[in-house]
Amino acid sequence: MAGLSGLAILFCGLNTTGAPHETNSIRHRSVSLGDCIQAALLNNRELQIERLNPPIARSFLSAAYGYYDPLFLADTRVESAADSGGFDPADFSRDAIYTADSEAARLSLTGFLPSGLSYSLNGVYAHSYGFRNGLNFDSYNLFGGAAVRQPLLKNFWTDQGRMTIRVNKKNLRITELGVVFLTMDVVNRTEQAYYELLLAHEELRVREQLVGTRQQFLNGVQRKIEMGTLTALDEQLAQAQVATAQAGANIARNGLVLAENMIKTLLGDPWTNTADTRLQPADPLLVVPESFNLMESWERGLGHRADLAQMKQDVEKSEIDLKYRRNQLFPALDLVAGYGRKGAGTEQVFPPLSANASLTSAFDQVRDGAAPNEMVGIIFSIPLGRSMERANYRASKQLREQMRLRVKQQEELVMREISDALHTARASLERTSLTRRAREFSESALEAEERKLAGGKSTIFFVLQLQGDLASAKSAELRAQADYNRALSQLAFVEARTLERSRISLELK
């Protein structure tokens, strides 16, 4: 098991023994399909980018839980104030002349609980001294208390904080499913590219064999010209067919390079930067017949497709939003309660004596509850129109219905994809048998025509034509075999069997 940015991948039974060997200045590296799948899962850039999404979503989820982190506040200050006198008709109790200095400190702890309850713990210390109404004064004031507010209707069974957490949980699951889906997609594309590479090698072998066969045939024609049994026109015909075969081999070589470039791109940086390395497929191009059952394939695909599961998570997100919007239609009915204790110590004396109040007295009053404050109540509020809340609720219902329809649409597309892939695989399997028979008949026809030519009952034109027909039949058979294997890979992908088929286990951390 290897941890890869929050993703552990288990490779079961994959052959990783492919090693490069030197041939002139070009290195040839033998690779199996298992080697390529493993390299793609480790190095594919698209998959590396996708694997970062779950850790990002997990961080956003952790940030959402910060809604419940308590807020601590500490406030301390020193102030001086004075008033030189004057009449204030708005406040007859105001001291006309005073000077005062004060020291104050306030501590508080506030926060929310998952039930929607908000709480506040407060502590206040104040010390003031100075001159007022002809007296020197010194005063201590202490307060300690707690208050809570519990919603009973609006914001009771859900609120902004809880909705955000639930949505982020769904987002995390969506990103995890995205990794699963892209992993299957990368494996499928790697298999498709590997079979194309294997086909390109076999196609080049067939075309080079045709070049060799026609070159040998040309040599035979030239010997017979020397013997006087054939003419120069026959030699020109044979030479033209050699050139045609060489052109076909040239096209096959180019196709091989393009197939290598395609699979190297999927395998990632360590492979794309190896221009001097040629990939040699280690696996043979085999046809292993399989049985097909459309109903079972539909059941498997609809139940396990990661992209479909992502859309279902989006539906659940819309239901979370709808639940929140519905709760916002209710009026706010909150239960509030609070309790606190006060303590004070004050002394006033005539000058020139200095006032000296006792802080201990204030503490004793708080401890004994000499001046308690108690509060229980109900707060009710409601927007008279609730236009915004009603509109948001309607929009949320419509969005949920839209997401449900998208899931239905995707299910229909999945069923069509599975049906197309299954029938393509079945037709490809039948085509492998037909192309094999066509190749066998072409071999027999060429052998018969060569015997007729040796007996003087045929011409080189027919032999050359049948040589080309045999090469085309071989190419068609190889294409059918590659298409069948590619169709099986595609069927496994649309059925969500790709990882199971390749014996790969994903573990998201």
- For residue 310, the model assigns a pLDDT of 96
pLDDT tens per residue, range 210-219: 999 999 999 9
pLDDT for 402 beyond 70 = yes
Q: Is residue 419 located within the same domain as residue 459?
A: yes
Segment among 59-68, 185-194, 264-273, 407-416 with least mean pLDDT: 264-273
Beta strands in 364-410 (DSSP E): 371-381
Residue 148 lies in a domain: yes
Please name the amino acid found at residue 162.
Answer: R
pLDDT tens per residue, range 182-199: 999 999 999 999 999 999
- For residue 95, the model assigns a pLDDT of 52
Q: Is residue 114 located within the same domain as residue 196?
A: no
Say how many domains are in the chain.
2
Q: Is residue 438 located within the same domain as residue 504?
A: yes
Of residues 86 and 221, the one with the higher pLDDT is 221
Residue 150 lies in a domain: yes
Residue 90 lies in a domain: no
What's the rounded mean pLDDT across residues 376-399? 93
Full residue range of the structural domain in which residue 106 is found: 73-81+95-154+332-381
Q: Is residue 149 located within the same domain as residue 169?
A: no
Percentage of residues of the chain with pLDDT beyond 90? 69
Q: Is residue 169 located within the same domain as residue 277?
A: yes
Residue 326 lies in a domain: no
Q: Is residue 230 located within the same domain as residue 312?
A: yes
Q: Is residue 411 located within the same domain as residue 478?
A: yes
What's the rounded mean pLDDT across residues 258-284? 82
Tell me the C-alpha distance between 468 and 401, whole Å. Answer: 61
- For residue 17, the model assigns a pLDDT of 40
Residue 325 lies in a domain: no
- For residue 232, the model assigns a pLDDT of 87
Provide the Cα torsion 208, 211, 216, 217; round to 10°.
Answer: 140
Q: Is residue 231 located within the same domain as residue 337?
A: no
Q: Is residue 138 located within the same domain as residue 178?
A: no
CATH number for the domain spanning 300: value is: 1.20.1600.10
pLDDT for 291 beyond 80 = yes
Q: Is residue 212 located within the same domain as residue 265?
A: yes
pLDDT for 324 beyond 90 = yes
Q: Is residue 149 located within the same domain as residue 256?
A: no
Of residues 506 and 21, the one with the higher pLDDT is 506
pLDDT for 23 beyond 50 = no
Residue 194 lies in a domain: yes
For residue 336, which of 165, 503, 149 has the smallest C-alpha distance? 149
Residue 85 exposed, middle or buried by CB count within 10 Å (0-12, 13-18, 19+): exposed
Cβ contacts of 76 within 8 Å, gap of 6 or more? 103, 104, 105, 106
Residue 135 lies in a domain: yes
pLDDT for 401 beyond 60 = yes
Q: Is residue 370 located within the same domain as residue 402?
A: no
And the tokens for 161? 């904080």
Residue 443 lies in a domain: yes
What's the rounded mean pLDDT across residues 28-38? 91
* Predicted confidence band of residue 274 (pLDDT cuts 50, 70, 90): low
pLDDT tens per residue, range 132-172: 777 888 888 999 999 999 999 999 999 999 999 999 999 99
Q: What is the mean pLDDT of the chain?
A: 88
Tell me the C-alpha distance between 420 and 353, whole Å. Answer: 103
